[in-house]
Amino acid sequence: MAHDVVQSSVCSTHSWMLFDLFTLFLVSYITSQLFMPWSHSLRYFFTAVAAVVLVVVVVVSLRIPQLPRSATDPVLEPNRVLVIAHRGGGHDAPENTIAAIREAKKNGADGVELDLEFTKDGVPILLHDSTVDRTTNGSGNINSFTFEEVRKLDASYGHRLSATLGNEQIPTLEEATVECLKLGLKIFFDVKGNAKQAAEALTKLYKKHEELYKTAAVCSFYPTVIYRTRLIDPNIVTALTHRTGDLTYDITGQPRDLPLWQSMVAPFADVITYWAHHSWLWYFCGNSAFLLMRAEVSLQVKAYWEARNIALIAWTVNDEIEKQYYENHLRTDYITDCLATDCGTSKYK
């Protein structure tokens, strides 16, 4: 059955490309009618055709080619299901710490997903949020702290096991990378922003530790991060991250608290983001993987991306039964907060 789905998806890839071009043509045609009140309808037609041609030329000429399978297979290992510890495994140990990385290895993880942030003085560190409030005993935006000040914070503060844990420091990107390489763990660097700064830091890291080309990938919701990174070093394996409706709804499914004009624009922006991620951004950036929220993953979706030579990775799979479903039925890599226990009701999503 899975083979039939893949075959069907491969056959329809070109059909989808034609559909995307037709959609672009239609949007351009309607837009030209709204903003260019010409008397001859043929002008609208040729304007739309010109817009389609221009977009295709720009995308094709500026795209960064996708890496061959010989370069991506060592990282993504398509013949087995990879289990990746989210933020190092935030349920089993304080997230984004050396302790979490070691715990993930002990509990059988194949790799870890780690979040990249920067201190006020430009030191790349591990931190998920833009503030230190949730995961440490400090308060404030991370870019208001120097690295020396960050080192004084306790990264185990507030964790469910904090009473039994010692003080955990926020590690540097370098420290975490060295630990992962020592333990033989794959690394999925997740970048939330700071595209230029992140691209420079990560490409320098890869040059320093060349093993990363075969053991790590750079992931982000933001195509600018991926594009900048591969523009500097096209040999780095990258992945776009996506959640449908991300601009309109938060991770819990509640509407985001936005100003009125933004709340009106957000649903349309979500539609455009979905279309761009699924139709051409993967091609433009030359991605090798696609990280998708677990509720959106299916055999059909997996086949869609496999037909484009892209590995699908689900996030965040915490329920034990759901993990078995991913391993035995979907045969799809997944990111999880817990390996030692079932944390289906965890606050991490």
Q: How far is CA 162 from each of CA 50, 112, 146, 197, 305, rounded to the nearest angstrom?
A: 61, 21, 25, 32, 41
As beta bridge partners, residue 85 has 112, 336
Q: What is the CA radius of gyration of the chain?
A: 22
154: nearest Cα among 164, 167, 145: 167
Q: Is the model's pLDDT at 148 over the cut of 80?
A: yes
Strongest mean pLDDT among 146-150, 154-158, 279-283: 146-150
Q: Minimal CA–CA distance to 132: which of 147, 142, 118?
A: 142
One-letter amino acid identity for 109?
Answer: A
pLDDT score of 14 more than 70: no
Q: Which backbone phi and psi does 152 adopt, to 5 degrees?
A: -85, -10
Decide if pLDDT at 48 tops 90: no
**With a threshold of 0.95, does the pTM exceed it?**
no
Average pLDDT (119-132) is 97
Sorted by where each begins, the domain ranges of the chain are: 1-62, 67-336
Instruction: Give the model confidence (pLDDT) of 229-286 as tens digits.
Output: 999 999 999 999 999 999 999 998 999 999 999 999 999 999 989 989 999 999 999 9
pLDDT of residue 348: 46
Residues 4-31 have a mean pLDDT of: 55
Instruction: Identify the weakest region by mean pLDDT among 38-47, 138-147, 286-295, 305-314.
Output: 38-47
Per-residue pLDDT band at 30 (split at 50, 70, 90): low
pLDDT(145) > 90 = yes
* Tokens of residue 174, six digits: 């370098």
The 3-state DSSP class for residue 311 equals strand
In this prediction, residues 106-112 reach a mean pLDDT of 98
- Joined together, the tokens standing for residue 290 give 């696609």
> What integer pLDDT is reported at residue 312 of this predicted model?
98
Reported in sequence order, the residue ranges of the chain that DSSP labels E, i.e. its strands, are 83-86, 111-118, 124-126, 186-191, 216-220, 238-242, 289-293, 311-315, 333-336
Q: pLDDT at position 179, please?
A: 98
State how far the Cα of 96 lies from the Cα of 109, in Å rounded to an integer: 15
**Cα separation of the two ends of the chain:** 30
Contacts of 341 (CB under 8 A, 6+ apart): 91, 92
Average predicted confidence (pLDDT) for the chain: 89
User: Average pLDDT in the 129-142 region?
Assistant: 96
The residue ranking higher by pLDDT, 59 or 83, is: 83
Query: pLDDT of 328-344, one tens digit each?
Result: 999 999 999 999 888 87
Q: From CA 296, how far away is CA 162, in angstroms rounded? A: 34
* Predicted pLDDT at 342: 82
pLDDT band at 170 (very low <50, low <70, confident <90, very high): very high
- In terms of pLDDT, which residue wins out, 70 or 18? 70
% of the chain at pLDDT higher than 70: 86
**Helices then strands (H, E): number in the chain?**
12, 9
Token pair recorded at residue 15: 């059909």
57-71, 110-124, 181-195, 316-330: range with lowest mean pLDDT: 57-71
Compare 13 and 62 and report the one with higher pLDDT: 62
Q: 76-106, pLDDT tens digit by residue? A: 999 999 999 999 999 999 999 999 999 999 9
CATH code given to domain 67-336 = 3.20.20.190
Helix (H, G, I), strand (E, B) or coil at 39: coil
pLDDT score, position 163:
81
Instruction: Name the β-bridge partners of 117.
Output: 125
pLDDT at residue 3 is higher than 50: no
Query: Within 10 A of 124 (CB to CB), how many other CB atoms are there?
Result: 24
